[in-house]
């Protein structure tokens, strides 16, 4: 019994040691499992990191391929942009040329319009001038006709008066006969009326003052007078009074000079006539003692004041002679021998003036007609020029419209090009954004690769350390397994001893 108790005590001690050894072995195995789990985790992490690296490399290859495509697309777009830029420059140049062409055509069109306006104004001015010329010619023709009628009237009067003057109508027959000899008898100067000139307002007074003396014939000398008297006698042509210049060299003076200061006195009759100085004595002899008064009332006052001793004549032809006799009244005929020369001169002057007017009018009419004809030719030429200018205007308008249409087409094309340029810019922007995105992806991929590579290196380093720990833990666990196995053998042996002792006791 004492052996069994000792064996049981020993077995119990062995059981306790087995339990302790198994516990230590289990702890060593648990640690080994932990280390192996770390190794497995590290291997998994490394594998994941390597897979991530491989995936990143694969993705990077794809991304780089996309980058290449983007580069290709960018090159193509840049080529398109270069071509488009060239087309835009050409379009802009075409647009500028079109603008310049339009400006030139508008200038040309405006110049043509100004030319048409000027031509129209000139044409209107010519038409107006032609109208004025028509009116002017009508007036000039009418005036010429009227002037010619006046000319013929006055010429007829002049011819008639010349005829009367040349034939000495109104003079006595004897005077006419003597005056017909004037060409052959050089000593005959002429009748008194031929050598005296007087203002029209004094004609009546002077002719009245002269009376019958107006038909007296003035000769150079007494010899001429004697021959003409003998001529009249021989041909029984009647009588005539002669005034030889040599016989009237000292005419009598006027005896009442104070009367010339009276009211109404115009002057001495001889001083109111115009006569050659050679014949001044003739005038003085016939008129030097006769006073011309403005009217009969003044004449009567003067006559009374000077005791009717002055011979006076009024402007209206009243004659007051010494002694108080007064002659007056209406003239029976109006031969006006004294005024005939004046009338002749006036008519000659008037006829000459009318002839000058006719000549001037003829010249004016010819000049106006020449101007009219020239204007007609110029007007016709102007109309043709205006017609051609209208054609030029229409051509210029069509050219301008065509240029504007072309400009609109160019502008439309330019707008399309600008729209395309905008589209290309958007494409380039998208490509640049794509490239930036890919560049970022490449960068992220490289960073990921670096990160994963670092992680792999770190994990491999940890793995090496953990493998060393695993080796140690495995050795330790094996040692514990040996110790446990030994203890189990001892335990088994102790149990066999207990079972043997129990068996011996039972027997």
How do the domains of the chain map onto residue ranges? 2-110+406-506, 171-334
Percent of all residues in the chain with a pLDDT value above 70, rounded to a whole number: 98
pLDDT tens digits, one per residue of 332-352: 555 577 777 788 888 899 999
Q: What angle do CA 292, 298, 304 make, to 5 degrees?
A: 100
pLDDT of 290 over the 60 cut: yes
Residue scoring higher pLDDT (501 or 389): 389
| Bridge partner list, 290 | 311
pLDDT of 370 over the 80 cut: yes
* Closest C-alpha among 338, 337, 309 to residue 325: 309
How far is it, in rounded angstroms, from Cα 150 to Cα 347?
Answer: 11
pLDDT tens digits, one per residue of 169-220: 788 899 999 999 998 999 999 999 889 999 999 999 999 999 989 999 999 9
Q: What angle do CA 274, 280, 283 make, to 5 degrees?
A: 75
pLDDT of 299 over the 90 cut: yes
pTM exceeds cut of 0.75: no
- Residue 12, token pair as written in the block: 């119990």
| Average of per-residue pLDDT values in the chain | 88
* Closest C-alpha among 190, 118, 453 to residue 338: 190
How far is it, in rounded angstroms, from Cα 436 to Cα 8?
Answer: 85
Highest mean pLDDT among 213-227, 337-351, 393-407, 460-474: 213-227
How far is it, in rounded angstroms, from Cα 120 to Cα 127?
Answer: 10
Pairing label, strands 273-275, 196-198: antiparallel
How far is it, in rounded angstroms, from Cα 404 to Cα 362?
Answer: 60
Q: Which pLDDT value is given to residue 31?
A: 85
- Chosen CATH of 171-334 out of 2.70.150.10, 3.30.43.10, 1.20.1060.20, 1.10.150.20: 1.20.1060.20
Q: Which pLDDT value is given to residue 334?
A: 52
Which of 1-15, 112-126, 144-158, 403-417 has the lowest average pLDDT? 1-15
How far is it, in rounded angstroms, from Cα 124 to Cα 131?
Answer: 10
How far is it, in rounded angstroms, from Cα 98 to Cα 408?
Answer: 9
Confidence of residue 234 (pLDDT cuts 50, 70, 90): very high
* Closest C-alpha among 271, 276, 267 to residue 245: 276
pLDDT tens digits, one per residue of 121-174: 998 998 998 999 999 999 999 999 999 999 999 999 988 888 877 778 788 899
Residue environment code for 181-206, b if the CB has 16+ CB neighbours within 10 A, otherwise e: eeeebebbbebbbbbbbbeeebbbbb
Q: Which pLDDT value is given to residue 7?
A: 73
Rg (Cα) of the chain, in Å, rounded? 81
pLDDT tens digits, one per residue of 75-92: 888 888 888 788 878 878
- Residue 87, token pair as written in the block: 């087309």
Percent of all residues in the chain with a pLDDT value above 90, rounded to a whole number: 45
Residue environment code for 51-83, b if the CB has 16+ CB neighbours within 10 A, otherwise e: ebbeebeeebeebeebbeebeebbeebeebbee
Which of 52-56, 300-304, 413-417, 445-449 has the lowest average pLDDT? 413-417
Confidence of residue 358 (pLDDT cuts 50, 70, 90): very high
- Residue 37, token pair as written in the block: 């789990």
Beta strands in 318-417, from DSSP E residues, in sequence order: 319-320, 326-327
Identify the CATH number of the domain defined by range 2-110+406-506: 1.10.287
Q: Which pLDDT value is given to residue 311?
A: 95
């Amino acid at each position: 019994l004492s052996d069994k108790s000792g064996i049981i005590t020993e077995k119990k001690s062995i059981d306790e040691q087995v339990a302790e050894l198994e516990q230590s072995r289990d702890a060593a195995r648990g640690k080994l499992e932990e280390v192996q789990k770390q190794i497995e985790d590290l291997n998994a992490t490394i594998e994941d990191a390597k897979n991530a690296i491989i995936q990143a490399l694969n993705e990077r290859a794809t991304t780089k391929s996309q980058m290449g495509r983007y580069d290709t697309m960018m090159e193509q777009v840049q080529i398109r942009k270069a071509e488009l830029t060239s087309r835009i420059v050409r379009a802009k140049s075409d647009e500028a040329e079109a603008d310049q062409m339009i400006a030139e055509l508008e200038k040309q069109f405006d110049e043509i319009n100004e030319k048409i306006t000027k031509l129209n104004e000139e044409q209107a001015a010519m038409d107006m001038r032609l109208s004025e010329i028509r009116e002017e010619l009508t007036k000039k023709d009418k005036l010429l006709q009227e002037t010619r009628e006046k000319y013929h009237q006055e010429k007829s009067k002049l011819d008639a008066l010349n005829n009367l003057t040349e034939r000495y109508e109104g003079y006595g027959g004897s005077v006419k006969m003597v005056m017909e000899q004037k060409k052959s008898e050089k000593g005959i100067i002429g009748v008194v009326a031929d050598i005296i000139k007087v203002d029209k307002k004094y004609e009546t007074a002077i002719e009245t003052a002269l009376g019958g003396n107006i038909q007296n014939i003035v000769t150079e000398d007494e010899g001429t007078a004697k021959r003409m008297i003998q001529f009249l006698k021989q041909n029984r042509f009647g009588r005539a009074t002669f005034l030889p210049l040599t016989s009237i060299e000292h005419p009598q003076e006027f005896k009442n000079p104070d009367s010339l200061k009276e009211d109404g006195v115009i002057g001495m009759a001889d001083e109111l006539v115009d006569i050659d100085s050679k014949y001044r004595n003739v005038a003085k002899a016939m008129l030097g003692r006769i006073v011309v008064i403005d009217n009969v009332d003044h004449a009567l006052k003067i006559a009374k004041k000077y005791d009717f001793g002055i011979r006076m004549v009024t402007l209206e032809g009243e004659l007051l002679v010494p002694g108080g006799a007064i002659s007056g009244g209406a003239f029976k005929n109006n031969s006006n021998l004294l005024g005939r020369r004046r009338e002749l001169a006036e008519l000659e002057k008037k006829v000459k003036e009318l002839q000058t007017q006719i000549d001037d009018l003829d010249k004016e009419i010819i000049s106006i007609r020449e101007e009219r004809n020239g204007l007609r030719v110029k007007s016709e030429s102007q109309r043709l020029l205006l017609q051609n200018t209208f054609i030029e205007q229409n051509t210029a308008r069509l050219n301008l419209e065509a240029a504007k249409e072309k400009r609109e087409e160019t502008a439309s094309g330019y707008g399309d090009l600008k729209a395309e340029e905008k589209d290309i810019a958007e494409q380039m922007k998208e490509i640049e954004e794509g490239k930036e995105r890919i560049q970022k992806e490449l960068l992220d991929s490289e960073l990921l690769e670096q990160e994963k590579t670092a992680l792999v290196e770190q994990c491999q380093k940890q793995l090496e350390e953990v493998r060393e720990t695993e080796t140690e833990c495995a050795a330790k666990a094996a040692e514990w397994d040996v110790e446990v196995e030994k203890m189990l053998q001892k335990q088994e042996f102790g149990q066999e001893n207990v079972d043997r002792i129990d068996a011996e006791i039972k027997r």
